[in-house]
């Protein structure tokens, strides 16, 4: 199978040969394209044109028959006239070869050869009067939930069918990439789709994931640096002299309202101090100010903010900030340390385990924190079983099978791995032997004592 880029290049070569009136050579390339990208109305049109120009009117008419309602009427009429003249006149080379303006490549977007995202429909199963499930082979590019399939309509018009779901109900994936064979639920009357049809993609305009949602301006880097005043306040805090520390930091904030570290330090003081100075709600407010003013790039500020959010019942927001920091840290040691902190944070606040799956690109294909949903998805999706996986949105990607077999008992059955009965029997025998040994030791100690009493 040729790649999309190779198909595009081959198509352009064929077009050049047609314009140069080298119809036999063009036909050779168009035949290759027709095998690799079947049902392309452009390729079919130019094959019919070349067949007519080389005197094979019957074959040209067969090609033309498949173009009814798929190209502009004027273009179809032009082709009919050429074929009619070939049939009437054996001197086909005298026929003009002007291309209809409606089929010039810049006039409208083609459905196949030049389409960067292309799938082919293998089967169609009606779901309702206006929805159906298709089994699709992704020939090139990527399709996402919310995108629309571009279908050939009447008179060459383009029709759209929204992708409502990729995968099954239990294993709904975020996208399908080149090489995948996967079911899709689409919003289109079943009669509009047929096996063998090619479809392009009208993308919804999905926002690209930015490296971070915050950008630290260069002129503000000084606000996350310590100075002598804040160092003195920090020492007082460590000595539990909260009142004295608060007095220093409060005055500092009045003079430097933009200081990230001053707000963070005051938040720490109010968090640790006893009432009336201590005030967790106010501490959270100050930590939030520190975070928004640049502290999102400062790990201690993010840690404090996340802990305060959790203390106020918003641990989910806290873990999102920790995850954002993780995504933007570059130092591998710092990332590893933060990954463990995130896992511990999840355990401390009962946030559960998040399972993520990706393809080789690293883009998230499927995600769930529901163990039952995970098992159901694995049973139905071979794509997920062969994907890469990681836990809690942190750490490196691992082979899904290896990770799942160590973490989920049901995975062995899902992957078709039989649990060894011999191993189970050996474990039971070992357990029984240990129990008997313990009983023997107890009897060895107790029996002499009992006999001595009698």
Q: What are phi and psi of 180, to 5 degrees?
A: -80, 145
Rounded to the nearest angstrom, the gap between the alpha carbon of residue 399 and the centroid of all alpha carbons in its chain is: 17
Same fold, 4-103 and 218-348: yes
* Domain formed by 218-348, architecture: Alpha Horseshoe (1.25)
**Domains of the chain by residue range:** 4-103, 118-202, 218-348, 355-414, 420-454
Considering just the CA atoms, what is the radius of gyration of the chain in Å?
34
Paired tokens of 400 = 């899904």
As beta bridge partners, residue 186 has 132, 163
Helices (H), 66-130: 73-88
Note whether 143 and 105 are within 8 A (CB): no
Report the 10 Å Cβ neighbour count for 312. 14
Q: If 0-12 CB within 10 Å is exposed, 13-18 middle and 19+ buried, where does residue 68 land?
A: exposed
Q: Nearest Cα to 120, choosing from 94, 144, 147, 141?
A: 141
Q: What is the DSSP letter of 175?
A: E
Identify the pLDDT of residue 208.
Answer: 54
What is the sign of the dihedral through the CA atoms of 362, 363, 366 and 370? positive
How far apart are alpha carbons 208 and 214 in whole angstroms?
15
CB 78 within 8 A of CB 101: no
> What is the pairing mode between strands 181-187 and 158-167?
antiparallel
Strand pairing class (148-152; 198-202)? antiparallel
Mention every residue, 6+ apart, whose C-beta is less than 8 A from residue 227.
none
List, run by run, the mean pLDDT of 10-residue segments along the chain (454 residues).
80 88 92 83 87 88 81 77 76 46 39 66 95 94 94 70 96 94 96 89 69 48 73 95 96 93 96 95 96 92 97 96 93 93 96 94 94 95 95 94 92 82 63 81 72 62
pLDDT at 426: 63
Q: CA 197, CA 188: separation in Å to the nearest integer?
A: 14
Query: What is the signed CA dihedral for 288, 292, 298, 302, rounded to 10 degrees?
Result: 30
Query: Could you tell me which CATH number the domain at 4-103 has?
Result: 1.25.40
What fold characterizes domain 118-202?
Answer: Elongation Factor Tu (Ef-tu); domain 3 (2.40.30)
Full-model pTM: 0.65
Among residues 259, 225, 229, which one has the least CA distance to residue 245? Answer: 229
DSSP conformation class of 184:
E
Q: How far apart are CA 328 and CA 222, in angstroms?
A: 20
CB atoms within 10 A of CB 204: 13
**C-beta of residue 147 within 8 angstroms of C-beta of residue 184:** no
| Residues facing residue 60 across a β-bridge | none
Measured in residues, the chain has a length of: 454
Q: Are 358 and 393 in contact (CB under 8 A)?
A: no
Q: What span, in angstroms and rounded, lies between the C-alpha atoms of 290 and 321?
A: 13
């Amino acid at each position: 199978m040729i790649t999309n880029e190779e198909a595009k290049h081959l198509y352009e070569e064929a077009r050049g040969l047609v314009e140069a009136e080298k119809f036999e050579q063009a036909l050779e390339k168009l035949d290759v394209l027709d095998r690799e990208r079947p049902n392309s109305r452009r390729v079919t049109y130019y094959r019919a044109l070349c067949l007519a120009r080389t005197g094979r009117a019957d074959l040209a008419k067969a090609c033309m028959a498949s173009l009814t309602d798929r190209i502009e009427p004027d273009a179809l009429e032009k082709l009919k006239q050429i074929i009619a003249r070939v049939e009437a006149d054996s001197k086909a080379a005298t026929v003009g070869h002007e291309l209809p303006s409606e089929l010039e490549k810049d006039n409208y977007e083609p459905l196949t050869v030049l389409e960067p995202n292309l799938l082919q429909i293998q089967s169609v199963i009606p779901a309702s009067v206006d929805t159906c499930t298709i089994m699709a082979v992704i020939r090139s590019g990527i399709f996402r939930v919310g995108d629309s399939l571009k279908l050939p309509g009447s008179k060459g018009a383009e029709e759209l069918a929204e992708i409502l779901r990729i995968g099954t109900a239990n294993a709904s994936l975020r996208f399908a990439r080149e090489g995948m064979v996967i079911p899709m639920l689409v919003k289109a009357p079943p009669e509009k789709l047929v096996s063998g049809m090619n479809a392009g993609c009208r993308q919804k305009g999905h926002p690209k994931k930015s490296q971070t949602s915050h950008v630290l301006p260069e002129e503000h880097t000084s606000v996350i640096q310590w100075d002598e005043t804040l160092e003195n306040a920090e020492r007082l805090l460590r000595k539990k002299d909260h009142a004295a520390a608060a007095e220093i930091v409060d005055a500092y904030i009045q003079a430097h309202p933009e200081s990230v570290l001053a707000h963070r330090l005051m938040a720490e003081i109010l968090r640790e101090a006893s009432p009336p100075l201590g005030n967790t709600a106010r501490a959270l407010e100050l930590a939030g100010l520190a975070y928004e003013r640049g502290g999102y790039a400062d790990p201690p500020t993010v840690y404090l903010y996340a802990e305060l959010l959790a203390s106020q019942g918003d641990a989910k927001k806290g873990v999102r900030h920790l995850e954002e920091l993780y995504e933007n840290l570059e130092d591998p040691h710092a990332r590893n340390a933060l990954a463990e902190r995130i896992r511990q944070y999840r355990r401390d606040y009962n946030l559960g385990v998040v399972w993520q799956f990706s393809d080789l690109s690293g883009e998230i294909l499927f995600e769930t924190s529901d163990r039952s949903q995970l098992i159901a998805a694995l049973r139905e999706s071979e794509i997920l079983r062969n994907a890469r996986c990681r836990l809690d949105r942190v750490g490196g990607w691992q082979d899904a099978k290896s990770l799942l077999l160590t973490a989920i008992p049901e995975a062995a059955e899902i992957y078709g791995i039989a649990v060894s009965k011999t191993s189970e029997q050996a474990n039971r025998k070992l357990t029984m032997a240990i129990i008997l040994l313990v009983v023997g030791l107890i009897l060895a100690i107790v029996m002499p004592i009992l006999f001595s009493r009698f």
